[in-house]
Structure formats: structure tokens, C-alpha cells
Chain A
Amino acid sequence: MRRTSWQEYQKDIADDKYYYARSCIRQNFFPGSEKAFLDIMHNDLGIDIFDDPLHTSCTGIGYHSDIVPLETIMTVVARQFSLMADAGYEHFISSCITSFGIYNEILSTWEEFPETEERTRRYLKEATGRELVKPRSIAHTSDIMFHHRHAIARKAKRQLRNAFTGEPLRVVEHIGCHYAKIFPKSGIGGSEFPYVLAGMIEAWGGEVVDYPERRHCCGFGFRNYLVQANRGYSIANSHKKLESMAPYRPDFIVANCPGCAMFLDKWQYAIAEMEGTVYGADGHGIPVLTYEEMAGLVLGYDPWELGMQMHQVDVEPLLDKMGIEYDREAKYLGKNGKYIGKPDIAAVNCEEARSIYEIKR
């Protein structure tokens, strides 16, 4: 693919000393990913990153659902920045794409309308006694991983290649809408040809799949999903993307947004149950990874340590393809070997389907 236009969209990313803001969704659905990010930064790259227990949700989901007013979210965000300054950091990094969009939107609002910043300063002071200190830089955690992709490549235990054929794995990259569609200059590669995930894939030996619906939203869209009556619209978006990417026979999908990773994964289950359609090879689904999981596999992390048992679509076919050794029996053993429960067998998974709807495969 001749994509070079991403080089026109660059931003300054700090090399070290990050203040880490977690994601509400990811902590619930991909808890291993955030831990993997911290481990990779700390242990593999020796980077100073601060995981502050005092910070809170950015309230972005509430904001996008018209529950949290703008003034409130601006004050919450101001508090996060204030905590960062207290901890002695200047570079704010966000694990969540929604939050990343929120932080950019609010910083931009303060810049465009200084009176809103003054008002937020006042509210923050009144509510918490804190002073607002704006970050020197703001980045999404996928930006940070992208920034260090060559360092990770140097420490890689394996590449994104088929261990049997040596061919690069074909990877669909999906960028969350709020990464660069709101502010194209806030993302590496802009909004049309974002390179943040593509850069990692290429640096680690994989091949990026370009397909017609590459830029299309995954369908999360907050109200598309949160309002139950709109969920058909949500799944229709994922369906459109999966139909479009399937002919390219991708080995896996990687996403940098909590909602995208979740919906592209779980809607595959719903589509398989509803229609009997699966999009991956051998009658299975297409595994959906977070970029931390992708980096973790490259660095030799154990897939269950990365939390990949939390996926709806089984990742074993991908692990086998990459030649990764893992303990099949340990999949549902949590920390300290405690059994964490096992999901029902479904059409989208590797084991024989036994859905309650008796879907034909």
C-alpha cells in the first residue's frame, strides 16, 4: 500500500516521564492490556510512567450521553491535569480514545474561548482547592507505543509473521473515531490515513490490510449502543466493516479504542448467532487484539497474562499461527490459578458450536 501521507501529520511525543490516565471500559473488558502497557513501558523499555490511583474517569461516556454537562467534565479534566502536576509530570497520556478526544477537545476549547478556562479554574478551585496546570504534551497511549515501536522491535521475541510460512500476518488496523476524526492533527497520520497502528504493524513484521470500509466507525458511537433501541445501528456498522474486510482474509484485527476492540470482537459473536456468519478462517471469527496485546505477543508475553482469554473470539488460531507456546488448559485460570469461569461455546469460537438458537454453520 502506497500510503505516505501520514508523514505530513506528525506531533511531538515525549520520550519519557508519562502521567498515565486509565480507561473505564478497558479496565473492565481488557484489564490485561493496561497492565501490559505499564509492564512494557517499565520493564521492557525502562520508561518512567506514573499510574496515579487518585485520578478518576474523565466522565466522557456521560458527557457523550448528555448526562454530564460540559462545565463538569471540564472541571474533572482540570483535576486530572492538576494531579499530574502534583505528581511532578508534564506529559499526559490517556489509555482511552474517548478520553483522548475529550482532553484534546477541552484543551482546544480553553484555547479558543479563554473565558471557559477561567471559569474552569474557578470551579476547580472552589470544588477541590486545586490549581489548573495544563500539560506540556498530550498523547494517546497508542502514540507512545508507536513512538517506541522500533525499540520494541529490537527487543522482539517474535514477529508478526506466520511461523510456518514466514509470510507477514495480514492485519486490519482500526482506529477509534475520536483519535483523529475530531482533530486530525492530534493523530499520527491524520484522520484519513492514520499510521499509529499501521506503523507498529509494519515495524513488527506484519502487513497492513487496506479495505474499503477501513475508515468506517465500529458502531459503538455511544448513543448507538447505549440506547438499546439503536443497537441495530451499532451492529450494522460492525457488520459493514466485517463484510468489507473478510475478502482480504485478515489474520487479526487490532484496535486502539476500547469501544472498537470490544464491539468488533463481541458483535462477531452476535452476528454469528443471528445469521450464522463468521468472518475468519476455518469457520471461526477474526481475533481482535488491542495494540498492547499485539506488542505483548511480539515481546514474548504469555497470552493469558495479557488477558486474551477475555476475548469473545478465540485467539488460539492466531497464537498457533505465530508459533506461540501457551498452555491451553491455563486459559481460564486467573491469578493464583483460580478458575475464573468459562463462556458458553459459541459459533464464533473454536470449539464446536452449541448455541441456544441452533444456528446452522
Chain B
Amino acid sequence: MAKRVVIVGGGAAGMQTALELKSRGIEPIIIERDMDLGGKVRDWHKLFPSFTPASDVLQPIIDKVRSSRIRCLLGQEVKTFAEDGVILRSEEHVPADAVVIATGFSLFDAHRKQEYGYGLYHNVITSVDLERMMNNGRVMLADGTEPRRIAILHCVGSRDEKVCQKHCSKVCCITGVKQAIELKQMFPTADVFNFYMDIRMFGPGYEELYREAQQRYNIHFVRGRISEAAQTINDRIQIKAEDTLTGRPLRMSVDMLVLLVGMSANRDNEALAAASNLSLAPNGYFQTKDSFLGAVQSERPGIFYAGAATAPKSLADTLAEASMTASAVERYLRDKYNNR
């Protein structure tokens, strides 16, 4: 009889791990809190650095999960993880031979950075709002007109001790570059500014895209964080920053301010970890057994991780890690049952 593995989370990490396990002859069960599979990528329009439509990546995975008849328990939340399965909020025990935690991350709530007026000023939006607008086919200001000047602010809820988010969210820099290019493609005459504290172009093709943004699209990059945003009398957004390269304060009005919201650890990680005897890293993500040789293992045998449950990751990294997790689970099950 096939060994059964419960995967908690039906986003990219969970689904890809399930497919990898299935291909190894292991029976996966996906437990997802939402009523649909797909996770956060569902909201995304195009992916960096290739501008591949997100649906071109996500939909084939979802289709494959469905055609593989992988069992999915949708709309279910997990209360406790254990090596012999999970207990749902409904107190139902779902037995398994191993568990994979692929619960992902939460988006930083931009309301917490009150100085930017998100939720208060019409044309202050987040990077996720922008992706949704692009998915809906039109990016526009609240009054239905086109923006002529746009500011994109990096590191909103990342590397910010004031909101207890000390970590780098890793993907925002390149997302800012990608979105700036997309905006410039939509509105060629618009001025687009990226306000950053560091530009971290770590992935293949990222640095090239950053350069292209400047040279081909004439996108402006200003090294300095915006200190505050306020609405002007004509519904524009006044921003203040310091250009730290010139050492001068800067004030300008823009039509739209895009906040690149970071990746935060899920709020319920703490309760789940406590109930399941797992550790959390100081940033609130699940702590892996080891950064090098146990990057997908937890401290408890039989409980594994995949994707952004342990740290901010790009979609490419997440999908690659899913294979790693499946291999580790397969090895664990083989050792466990061969030894009996």
C-alpha cells in the first residue's frame, strides 16, 4: 500500500511537492485553508524576470494536480502537525506517514506603515493591488484617469525594525523593477521612480533587467526611503524622501504611489509551532533543521517544509525546493519502513 503524506498548503509549494511525491509513488493529500488551490500566485499577473504570465506557470500545476486525482481537502485548517498526520481545526485526525508544511507566508499589511496613508488616500496602492489591476486589464487612478507620474517604494514591511520585520523579503527589488517596466510599457510618457535603500539583484537575469529598466525605459532609481505620503488638494500624493546619494531632501507630487509590500511570517505560525513542538526562527518563519544539509527538514522526524513557510522565496526557488522536499520525504519513508 502506498505511503501517504499530508501536505499542508495548496499554493505553488504544496502542489508541486504533491506532484513530485505522486511521481515517486507516494500518495499526497493537500489540505488548503482557502476554497481554491493556487495560493498567492493567483493574484499575480506576470512573473519576474521573464514577464511570463503567472497563469502560464500556475494553471498547468493546478490542472496536473486535478488530473492526477490528488486528494485535496479545501477550506480546512490545521491545528497541529505530527509525524503520524495532522489534526484539523474540526478535531478530525488525518493520518499520514509524513507531513509537509507548505503554509507559505502572509503579505505585509501596508496599513501598518501609517505614514504612507494606505487605505486612506485613493491612489496609494500595494504591489499586489497593482498586479490585480493588471489582471483585471486596466491600471488607472481612482478617478479613472491614467497616472502621469508614479513612485514605487521598496521595502515596505521589509528590513524595518519599527514594524518588527527585520528580514529582507528577497523578491521585492526585482518586483519593483518588473512593475516599473510594466507601468512604463502601459504609460510610455509617464515618469516612474523607484525609491530604494539597496537594490538586491541576486537572481539570474535580475541585474540585466535592472539595467534595462534604466537604459531602455528611463526609469528613475532614487536611493532613499520615502518618509511620508500625504494627499494634495487635487488628489495627488505628495511624498518626501532623502536622496541619500546626493544627500539632499526631496519632495515631489505623484499621481500614484505603489508600496512594495514584503513577505511576513504567517501569524498562526506561533500557535502551530507551539502545538506541534516545532521551532520558529526569530523572524517568525518555521526554523529548518539546518541551513545547509537539512533545509527542508524540521527538527522533528517526519515533518518537512516546502516553500516560503521557512523564509521569503521566489516562485522559482519555491518550485525547485518542492523537488528537494519530495526527495527528502521519499528518503525518510524508505529508511523508516526498510528499517522495520
Give me the interface of A with B, judged by CB distance under 8 Å: 1-3, 5, 190, 192-193, 210-215, 247-248
Contacts and interface: CB of A to CB of B under 8 A. Distances in A.
Interface residues of B, number: 11
B17 interface: no
Interface of B: 111, 114-115, 119-120, 228, 230-233, 238
A5 B114 contact: yes
A5 B120 contact: yes
Contacts of A212: 230-232, 238
Nearest to B115: A192
Given A5-B111, A5-B114, A192-B115, A248 B120 contact: no
Give the most central of B111, B120, B231, B238: most A CB within 10 Å: B120
Interface of chain B, main secondary structure: mixed
A304 to B, nearest CB: 35
Given A1-B120, A192-B228, A210-B231, 17 more contacts: A2-B119, A2-B120, A3-B120, A5-B111, A5-B114, A5-B120, A190-B114, A192-B114, A192-B115, A193-B120, A211-B230, A212-B238, A213-B230, A214-B230, A215-B115, A215-B230, A248-B233
A192 B110 CA distance: 14
Given A5-B114, A190-B114, A192-B114, A211 B233 contact: yes
Contacts of A3: 120
Nearest to B232: A212
B233 A247 contact: yes
Contacts of A1: 120
A271 B41 CA distance: 55
A156 to B, nearest CB: 29
A192 to B, nearest CB: 4
B251 to A, nearest CB: 9
26 contacts: A1-B120, A2-B119, A2-B120, A3-B120, A5-B111, A5-B114, A5-B120, A190-B114, A192-B114, A192-B115, A192-B228, A193-B114, A193-B120, A210-B230, A210-B231, A211-B230, A211-B233, A212-B230, A212-B231, A212-B232, A212-B238, A213-B230, A214-B230, A215-B228, A247-B233, A248-B233
Contacts of B228: 192, 215
A172 to B, nearest CB: 13
A5 B110 CA distance: 12
A212 B230 CA distance: 5
A5 B228 CA distance: 16
A211 B231 CA distance: 7
A214 B230 CA distance: 8
Contacts of A248: 233
A219 to B, nearest CB: 15
Contacts of B114: 5, 190, 192-193
Contacts of B230: 210-215
A185 to B, nearest CB: 13
A187 to B, nearest CB: 13
A259 B251 CA distance: 25
A8 to B, nearest CB: 9
A190 B119 CA distance: 16
Nearest to B113: A192
A162 to B, nearest CB: 20
A213 B233 CA distance: 11
A183 to B, nearest CB: 13
B327 to A, nearest CB: 46
Give the most central of A5, A211, A212, A213: most B CB within 10 Å: A212
B115 to A, nearest CB: 5
A254 B275 CA distance: 53
A93 to B, nearest CB: 26
Contacts of A210: 230-231
A289 B65 CA distance: 67
B274 to A, nearest CB: 26
A44 to B, nearest CB: 34
A108 to B, nearest CB: 16
Nearest to A1: B120
A113 B328 CA distance: 49
Nearest to B230: A212
